[in-house]
Amino acid sequence: MATPLKVNRIGLEPQVYKGGKTTLCAGCGHNAISERIIDAFYEMGVDPRQVIKLSGIGCSSKSPAYFLGGSHGFNAVHGRMPSVGTGAMLANKKLIAIGVSGDGDTGAIGIGQFVHLMRRNLPIIYIIEDNGCYGLTKGQFSPTADLGSKLKTGVVNDLPPIDTCALAVELGATFVARSFSGDKRQLLSLLKAALAHRGTVMLDVISPCVTFNDHEGSTKSYAYVKDHDDPVEEVSFVPFFEDIAVDYAPGTTQEVTMHDGSKLFLKKLEEDYDPTDKISALKRLHETARRGEFATGLIYIEPDRDDFLTLLNVVDEPLATLPLDRIRPGKEALEEIMEGLR
């Protein structure tokens, strides 16, 4: 008798969630992120056929080919993935969208579309695989490179970085988090929580570029990030389909109920931090940055705000497949219009 296969709650094996073989550099942080995405979608029991994977252009944007091989994918143009994702979600609100971008794809060429995506609160998980440089064109600085960070060639960055998390909080994203490709546990919890959220998830994952930006003097190297990672809380995620009681001492942990009924338990590491408060979130981001550190974890969450599709008041079924009689008004409608023009 064959050994029973390991399956998730919808009966799918882990294998189904894998993608093609990666062509990124060995040790690239992006590959670790792909692995966490695979784990999160498997563990949450998401049907891959309902998922769309989107990306722009760059090393990061290649990665959707390396996870969820059973999902439709769209590798769009540089910096413009948000609009393509928006269109797809307008067409079919039942889809689950995950977009992977990079710090150049988001912070430079794509900053406009990023800004407006955050404002709309479209249901999408937007991940920035953030290494502070352009890998595919061999290591130029990107807009998230820190002031004073040094390239291999010795060139020092003299412009202030764009903090994509602060920007996202400011602009209206309803789930803003930062993590580190090297922190398996935190990243997995955040990704699972992201799947339970309805609205825009902005997840900035610092993901060192082993080839061009992992040296002494770089503020996005493994060593530097490891030393300067400053978690805002300990994140535990309990999905709606698991009946797990979490014990915690009163006042030590904040509990957040997600859109689908899942729960987030945020164990406080600092007394005054409240991730449901915008001002608290921004203050924390600025303070950590001033110390040259990275605030990681769930920075900000607003679980109840209407998403873009709710605001547009579209019908419950996917617009893409509505039958003709629902999308073409009858003869009498045309006649009424014509009469009005006579």
Site string for another protein, 88-107 (x = CB under 8 A): xxxxx-xx------------
Rounded least distance, CB 288 to another protein, Å? 30
Q: Does 113 bind another protein (CB under 8 A)?
A: yes
Q: For the sheet containing 263-268, what is the strand order?
A: 233-238, 263-268, 253-257
Type of residue at 83: S
Binding residue for another protein, selected from 5, 7, 159, 312, defined by CB under 8 A: 312
Tokens 């082993």 — which residue? 210
Closer Cβ to another protein, 290 or 331, answer by number? 331
Closer Cβ to another protein, 57 or 295, answer by number? 57
| 232-248: b (≥16 Cβ within 10 Å) or e | bbbbbbbbeeeeeeeee
Q: What is the phi/psi pair of residue 230, to 5°? A: -125, 85
Closer Cβ to another protein, 95 or 188, answer by number? 95
Site string for another protein, 28-57 (x = CB under 8 A): ---------------------xxxx-x---
What does the CA dihedral 278, 289, 219, 159 come to, rounded to 10 degrees? 90
Type of residue at 125: I
Site string for another protein, 272-311 (x = CB under 8 A): -------------------------------------x--
DSSP 8-state secondary structure symbol assigned to residue 154: S
* Residue ranges in 167-206 that form contacts with another protein under rule CB under 8 A: none
Rounded to the nearest 10 degrees, the angle between the axes of helix 278-290 and helix 164-171 is 160
Rounded least distance, CB 43 to another protein, Å? 21
Instruction: Point out which residues pair with 26 in neighbouring strands.
Output: none
Instruction: Point out which residues pair with 54 in neighbouring strands.
Output: 74, 99
Nearest to 225 by CA among 165, 149, 277: 149
Give the three-class secondary structure for 19: coil
Binding residue for another protein, selected from 25, 115, 136, 282, defined by CB under 8 A: 115
Binding residue for another protein, selected from 22, 45, 116, 305, defined by CB under 8 A: 116
Closer Cβ to another protein, 85 or 297, answer by number? 85
Rounded least distance, CB 268 to another protein, Å? 38
Closer Cβ to another protein, 156 or 333, answer by number? 333
DSSP 8-state secondary structure symbol assigned to residue 156: B
Q: Does 108 bind another protein (CB under 8 A)?
A: no
* Residue ranges in 61-90 that form contacts with another protein under rule CB under 8 A: 64-65, 69-77, 80, 82-90
Total number of residues that touch another protein (CB under 8 A):
58
Closer Cβ to another protein, 119 or 226, answer by number? 119
DSSP 8-state secondary structure symbol assigned to residue 1: -
Instruction: Report d(CA 87, CA 83) in Å as an integer.
Output: 6
Instruction: Report d(CA 89, CA 261) in Å as an integer.
Output: 22
Interface contacts to another protein, rule CB under 8 A? 49-52, 54, 64-65, 69-77, 80, 82-92, 94-95, 112-113, 115-116, 309, 312-316, 318-322, 324, 326-329, 331, 333-335, 337-338, 341-342
